[in-house]
Amino acid sequence: MEPFNVTPELRALYQRAIENASSITDSERAEILRSQPPHIENPIIQEKFNLRSRQELIAKAKDNPESLTLEEADYLAPLDYPGHFMAEEDIELMYQARDAVTSPDEAAAIRNCWKIKDEDNLKESAKRRRRRELIRTMMKEPRARWVQKIVDAGLDQWGFVCFRTAYKAEKASDADWELFKGYYHEAGRGVSLLWRGLDELWPSHMSIFISDITLEGFQQPPSRTL
């Protein structure tokens, strides 16, 4: 979210929300929460999440949090810490005002959202840790046997034959095939920097890509020889 300065008018609005939350209008509540009023926000929620309103999203997060997507959790509980742009007393005032205009149901929904986001962060941290461990292993372990075979053979060129076996399925267009070839080469270059022995072999690598509609649904891979 964009940084902002607390004007005297906004500070007065915070104070009024703390003292008399029932006097706060929808537009004022949106200003306190740095969100949008219902007539603007609800159509956004309908388009993004196929739900009718913010209240329906809150009910989903409160009563059925396991069905909540990460995007929905991010929407209800965005990372919004303006501390670098506000005085300490204004930060405290802002959070008191937000608490005052947030219903118990919404507060419970937001807590569930943060739990989901925390779990996702833990999963991502675990993935990054496993990736680092894999990279260390790949760099330390002896060459894979198939890599060593290619090294021993002293081939001028080596590579793989990649067969396109889907032509009619979703995401099986010619453009998708070209995209796959790009991913293949980028992934190969990345792995060659990590997998011991591949760094010296990759410059002589050349793979062949076969696209023929008669291969539709083909499952039995052809035999290969080194």
Instruction: Give strand pairing partners of 161.
Output: 208
% of the chain beyond a pLDDT of 90: 29
* pLDDT recorded at residue 193: 64
Give ∠ CA 53-56-57 in degrees, rounded to 5.
Answer: 90
DSSP three-state, residue 210: strand
| Better-scored residue on pLDDT, 86 or 12 | 12
- Beta-bridged to residue 123, according to DSSP, are none
Residue 35 has pLDDT above 70, yes or no: yes
CB 92 within 8 A of CB 83: no
- The mean pLDDT of the chain is 83
Which DSSP letter does residue 217 get?
T
Q: Please provide residue 6's backbone torsions phi and psi, each rounded to the nearest 5 degrees.
A: -85, 110
Structure confidence by residue, pLDDT tens digits, 62-119: 999 989 898 999 898 887 655 555 677 888 888 899 999 999 999 999 889 988 888 8
pLDDT reading at 144 higher than 80: no
pLDDT at residue 121, rounded to an integer = 76
> What is the rounded CA–CA span in Å between residue 200 and residue 156?
12
Question: Comparing 2 with 180, which gets the higher pLDDT?
Answer: 180
| Confidence check: pLDDT of 225 > 50 | no
- Distances from the Cα of 186 to the Cα of 117, 182, 194, angstroms: 31, 6, 13
Range with lowest mean pLDDT among 4-8, 110-114, 132-136, 162-166: 132-136
Helices in the chain by DSSP H: which ranges?
8-19, 26-33, 38-49, 54-63, 70-76, 88-101, 104-140, 145-153, 174-192, 198-201
pLDDT digits (tens, 9 = 90+) for 174-204: 888 888 888 888 777 776 666 665 667 778 8
Cα–Cα distance, 66 to 44 (Å, whole number):
22
State the helix-helix crossing angle for 38-49 and 54-63, rounded to 10 degrees: 60
pLDDT bin (cut points 50, 70, 90) of residue 50 is: very high
